[in-house]
Amino acid sequence: MKPPSFEYFAPTTLDEAVALLAQHGDEAKVLAGGQSLVPMLNLRLARPAALVDLNRVTGLDYVRAENGHVVIGALARQRAVERSADVAARQPLIAAAIRLIGHPAVRNRGTVVGSLAHADPAAELPAVAVALGAEMVVTGPNGERVVAADDFFVSYLTVDLAPGEVLKEARFPALPPRTGWSIVEVARRFGDFALAGAVATLTLDDQGAASDVRVALFGVADRPVRVPEAEQVLRGERPDDDRIAAAAEAARAALVDPPSDVHASAAYRRHVAGVLVGRALREARERAQASG
């Protein structure tokens, strides 16, 4: 199939892009890497009246360290972020998540911010953003605003963007000292969207207890979700195997209504989510302990 007809615009400034999006409202779609949007256009799952292509807007392909964050612009390709020295030094969890996305040809075109704006609940990067407490910088006709990742992802393929607004950049906090991380998933094939996945970070204090714990799940709800029930089991405690097993069970029990489809039942996703939380927390613990 081929997409229905639409008007195509290629603005050269962000202000021009915002004006076009405001003019066309809900009938407009933004094109960056196109790795999600173009297939949806070809299958006629998306039918925009206007397509606003950001690729001629200069100055949006940055990846930089800034004020204790890794800041990623709207046109930074996933492959560039994966290879970034700033990401490797300050937030390697992002690079690990990107390596689970498709194949290099996909990552050479796809953008990190585009994946966040698309908000597929089975995608890795939205879950990383939620787990890390990332901030989304949104620009629109009324200027810029900053949205916490927890609030940005609303539901399936839906984010907190009003007509005329575009996601300009994402800010991920750098890992604190003595912090380990992990992202694990189960998928039918490498590069497929996850049937279930877990992200975890674990910070240890001088006594080896968990001073901060963050756990997020993806592929098991209509958006990526934090799991405070699992976090509370470990916070302030030494993360031994028994405690981690209890946290994994808390995560499994917290999943009230995971989706069921042709790929996996709700019961399977609930079971696998608990297993993956345990695995992610053990890997995060090992990295935290190895970091000194």
Q: What sign results for the dihedral spanned by CA atoms 74, 75, 79, 82?
A: negative
> The domain 7-53: what is its CATH number?
3.30.43.10
Q: Are the C-beta atoms of 177 and 205 separated by less than 8 Å?
A: no
* pLDDT score of 287: 98
The per-residue pLDDT for range 35-62, each reduced to its tens digit, is: 888 888 888 888 998 999 999 999 999 9
> The domain 63-173: what is its CATH number?
3.30.465.10
- For the entire predicted model, the pTM comes to 0.95
Closest by CA to 162, choosing from 16, 6, 18, is 18
Closest by CA to 219, choosing from 243, 246, 245, 188, is 188
Identify the bridge partners of residue 181 per DSSP, sorted by sequence position: 201
Q: Are the C-beta atoms of 185 and 251 separated by less than 8 Å?
A: no
Look up residue 177 and give its DSSP letter.
T
Q: Are the C-beta atoms of 199 and 218 separated by less than 8 Å?
A: yes
Decide if pLDDT at 1 tops 70: no
Give span(s): CATH 3.30.390.50, the chain: 179-290
Give span(s): CATH 3.30.43.10, the chain: 7-53
The per-residue pLDDT for range 156-165, each reduced to its tens digit, is: 999 999 999 9
Give span(s): CATH 3.30.465.10, the chain: 63-173
> The domain 179-290: what is its CATH number?
3.30.390.50
